[in-house]
Amino acid sequence: MQQKIIILDFGSQTTQLIGRRVRELDTFCEILPYNKFPQDDPSVIGVILSGSPYSVHDPEAFRVDLSQFVGRLPVLGICYGAQYISHALGGKVEKADSREYGRANLQTVDSTNALFRGFGPLSQVWMSHGDTITRIPEGFECIASTRDVKYAAYWCANPSGTPANSGARPAPLFAVQFHPEVFHTLQGTLLLKNFVVDICGSRQEWSAASFVDSTVAELKQQLGQDRVILGLSGGVDSSVAAVLLNRAIGDRLTCIFVDHGMLRKNEFGQVMDDYKVLGLNVIGVDASRKFFGDLAGVTDPEQKRKIIGRDFVEVFNAEARKIADARWLAQGTIYPDRIESLNITGKVIKSHHNVGGLPKEMNLQLCEPLKWLFKDEVRRVGRQLGMPEHLITRHPFPGPGLAVRILGDITPEKVRILQEADDIYIRALREWGLYDEIWQAGVILLSTVRSVGVMGDERTYENPVALRAVTSSDAMTADWAHLPYEFLAHVSNEIINKVRGVNRVCYDISSKPPATIEWE
């Protein structure tokens, strides 16, 4: 039986990061809404409570019945989780004199405590909260403090009060008001390892190799002799899903790759060649005329996404109907897609590309072989499967393609301009050895703007473009990449000299948040 850590999500922006850190410890974890704790799952070995945008005193604050797991399983509360535990068990949480945000040092640490084993003095941590714990529950002990936060961490060895000689496995409770999952907490990974491995007893059996073996076996059992259809995008997620399925069911997998006309320059042919090398059965469909026709004159970003999504389904369905005996539709859905679709705040930032179920008219069952993986895990699985490195390290690319990188309406000419500029940029990143340092890069065509310029002795009035490059580990947060000035100057000159219709190049230095990675 595969062990797992349950992470209860109270709405923190870093909940997924907690999950990734646990997975990096070769331990499977599942992120669930705060009120969905699985009552009768013997594979659960520990529970982590995330942070939250709320105060424990807010009327709308998320609350959980701690008796479901406190005293039964080891528990770690983080930030709001720590404050909620104190509040619910008889401690006291009050508004801090000033919001505690940013770096702090643990000046007092009980390094004999299992949670802090191996910690040195003055360990840097990251705080982010407006409330603070002013009294911990009876029977609990303080195990770490900073200059401004007395109860930076606290614990109880036996919160259930079970007699020491009862034979029951210890289920201690730990709580920290800082965020061990973020990079700025220097020994955060050690703290999480102490909790997950030493305290919860993880056997650390979650790996790319074990995932491939178990998933191939599960797919063979799930799919039997049925035929499966998979929509390919050229990206790493759908490509790894295809290779995994191909290993399980061979030629009973049929892949469909739809060209909506807004892929990168020459991408359709290059990707089709890659898939042939991988031995996949792929049908390529050029549907660019339909997409361009339906997008004519449309400028609203959300409407563009919906039209592309609708047209993709129509084209895909038309091809899928030709495979009359297909019983399953496979998707390259990964775990962050599913977590975002269950966002407990209920707020939609933009439409997602592959979550939300199947069109009813397809009458197919859904198969999602990567549904438990984070992006970095997908890449590790791809390497385990022996896929070419250039497919595995390919930057994420939006489902609607260049349509969301063209501000304003979409025309074949605007796509041509953007493809040419983007091709120069991406090739230069590879030639300068910068591509693999970047999470995602691309060019944005500001077609709603005209820029004055001079070329030769003539005045020009053409489009500016913006270069975008970000560094990230999971796309939930991203920082703009500090590319060399010499590189930017080279790319700017190349684009302006070689791409007809562009006379100005800018570089986007916005981070996420507040900006998103894509402009639309």
> Could you list the active site residues?
79, 179, 181
**Two tokens, residue 190:** 């050690």
User: In which residue are the tokens 């061990």 written?
Assistant: 180
CA distances from 420 to 67, 233, 269, 494 (A): 60, 20, 16, 10
Contact between 237 and 352 under an 8 Å Cβ cutoff? The reply is no
Please tell me what DSSP assigns to residue 395. P
Instruction: Quote helix, strand, coil % in the chain, to nearest 5.
Output: 35, 25, 40
Contacts of 333 (CB under 8 A, 6+ apart): 237, 354, 355, 368, 370, 371
Spatial distance between the Cα atoms of 16 and 336, rounded to a whole number of angstroms: 7
**Two tokens, residue 210:** 């074990």
CA quadruple 95, 98, 99, 100: dihedral sign: negative
Compute CA 179 distance to the chain's CA centroid, rounded to the nearest angstrom: 18
CA distances from 58 to 54, 61, 133, 454 (A): 6, 5, 15, 58
CB burial of residue 482 (10 Å; 0-12, 13-18, 19+): exposed
Spatial distance between the Cα atoms of 191 and 85, rounded to a whole number of angstroms: 19
Q: What is the DSSP string of 29-88?
A: EEEEETT---TT-TTEEEEEE---SS-TTSTT-----GGGTBTTB-EEEETHHHHHHHHH
Spatial distance between the Cα atoms of 401 and 446, rounded to a whole number of angstroms: 16
- Longest pairwise C-alpha distance within the chain: 92
Nearest to 170 by CA among 73, 75, 76, 70: 73
Compute CA 310 distance to the chain's CA centroid, rounded to the nearest angstrom: 24
Quick check: helix, strand or coil at residue 181? Answer: coil
Spatial distance between the Cα atoms of 289 and 316, rounded to a whole number of angstroms: 15
Report H helices in 141-266. 188-193, 208-223, 236-249
Other beta carbons within 10 angstroms of residue 386's beta carbon come to: 9
Spatial distance between the Cα atoms of 18 and 13, rounded to a whole number of angstroms: 10
Contact between 228 and 245 under an 8 Å Cβ cutoff? The reply is yes
